[in-house]
Amino acid sequence: MSQAFFTDDFFQFFKDLAANNNRDWFQANKQRYEQSVKIPFEGFVAEIIKRVRAENLKVEVEPKQAIFRIYRDIRFSKDKTPYKTYVSAIIAKDGRKGRHNPGMYLELNPEQIRVYGGIYMPEKDVLYAVREYIANNLKKFEEVINDKGFKKFYREILGEKNKVIPKEFKEAGEKQPIVYNKAFYYFTEIPLKDITNPKLADKVMDAYRAAKPVREFLHKVV
């Protein structure tokens, strides 16, 4: 039976945090954070992991391995606000440490509920491998990115492009411009009003399943 994991205070907490992004305010509202954000999000991620696991046995990950901390890394940032105004998690093999695994990335904030997939910011060897696999399987790649379900939810694969790519990929790049990409990701949005919808997990899983053809294609690379 579906259940609602979040209340309206989930979004309100982040709106208030955005206006008071400092340690004193956060400490004074720590219990509210636990009750309205941290515990509900952990429960929601656990539910999504359970459902993904039922369809992909390789996703052996616990919520604590999947969820990113709310604390920002401000060491090299001009923005010294200490807290993120959103929650996020990677539901894939190795959780948040497995960013090259084309699983699911969830991000919830007061402006958007997004479900991402694909490969973001790949290292040099992974980028080369993805380009090589696409170049050697252009017909199959065209098939999966034009899948009706993928098109309905995600429309296209995104990512910044290199102006110059290794010469061995130029011919494939002329046929399929995505070969020039430096990343290969996609996302879809769920209406904000659904944050309190008992069927929110169902909607996330619908998006996850719609990406299956592209996800399985990329899995063959990494």
pLDDT score for 1: 58
Cα angle, residue 157 at apex, residues 69 and 126 outer, rounded to 5°: 65
What is the per-residue pLDDT for 177?
Answer: 96
pTM > 0.85: yes
Q: What is the DSSP string of 167-210?
A: GGGHHHHHH-GGGGBS-EEEEEEE-GGGGG-TTHHHHHHHHHHH
CATH architecture of 9-219: 2-Layer Sandwich (3.30)
- Every domain of the chain and the residues it spans: 9-219
User: What distances in angstroms separate CA 13 from CA 6, 70, 83, 202, 205, one per listed residue?
Assistant: 12, 13, 12, 24, 26
- The per-residue pLDDT string of the chain (222 residues; one tens digit each, 9 = 90 and over) reads 578 999 999 999 999 999 999 999 999 999 999 999 999 999 999 999 999 999 876 788 899 999 999 999 888 888 889 999 999 999 988 888 877 788 899 999 999 999 999 998 899 999 999 999 999 999 999 999 999 999 999 999 999 999 999 999 999 999 999 999 999 999 999 999 999 999 999 999 999 999 999 999 999 987
| Best CA proximity match to 176, nearest among 138, 136, 120 | 138
Question: What type of residue is 113?
Answer: I
